[in-house]
C-alpha cells in the first residue's frame, strides 16, 4: 500500500466524519495516538500493540493530510526524495540531521 492508497482508503472510510471534526479536532486525536505510541515504545515487548499504534499514528496523519488537501506521497517525495532535504545526500553529509 502506498501513502496515496492509504489516504484514499482513509478518505473513503472516514472522510465525512473527518470533515465534520475539522483540523483542530483531528489534530487532537492525532496527538492522542502519538501519546499511545510513546507508551507502546516504552513497553516494546507487546509487538502487536506497537504495530497497531504505529498504524494508528500513520492513519491519523493521513487524515490530517486529507483535511488539509496535502498529498503525503507527493510531499514526502518532494522533501525527502533525494535523501537529506538540505544537502540531497544519503546519508546526510551536511549535519542537518541530529544524531
Q: Is 58 helix (H, G, I), strand (E, B) or coil?
A: helix
Domains, the chain: 3-68 (1.10.287.1080)
- Site of grid cell 496515496: 4
Helix axis angle, 3-42 to 47-68, nearest 10°: 130
Q: What is the pLDDT of residues 5-37, one digit of tens each?
A: 999 999 999 999 999 999 999 999 999 999 999
Q: Is the pLDDT of residue 70 over 60?
A: yes
Average pLDDT over residues 86-99: 81
Q: Is the pLDDT of residue 96 over 70?
A: no
Please tell me the predicted confidence (pLDDT) of residue 54.
98
- Determine the distance from the C-alpha atom of residue 11 to the mean position of all C-alpha atoms in its chain, rounded to a whole number: 15
Q: What is the pLDDT of residues 49-60, one digit of tens each?
A: 999 999 999 999
Amino acid at each position: 500500500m502506498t501513502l496515496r492508497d492509504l489516504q484514499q482508503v482513509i478518505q473513503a472510510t472516514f472522510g465525512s466524519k473527518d470533515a465534520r471534526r475539522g483540523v483542530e479536532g483531528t489534530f487532537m486525536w492525532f496527538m492522542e495516538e502519538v501519546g499511545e505510541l510513546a507508551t507502546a515504545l516504552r513497553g516494546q515487548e507487546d509487538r502487536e500493540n506497537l504495530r497497531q499504534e504505529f498504524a494508528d499514528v500513520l492513519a491519523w496523519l493521513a487524515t490530517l493530510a486529507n483535511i488539509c488537501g496535502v498529498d503525503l506521497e507527493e510531499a514526502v517525495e518532494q522533501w525527502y526524495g533525494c535523501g537529506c532535504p538540505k544537502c540531497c545526500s544519503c546519508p546526510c553529509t551536511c549535519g542537518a540531521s541530529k544524531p
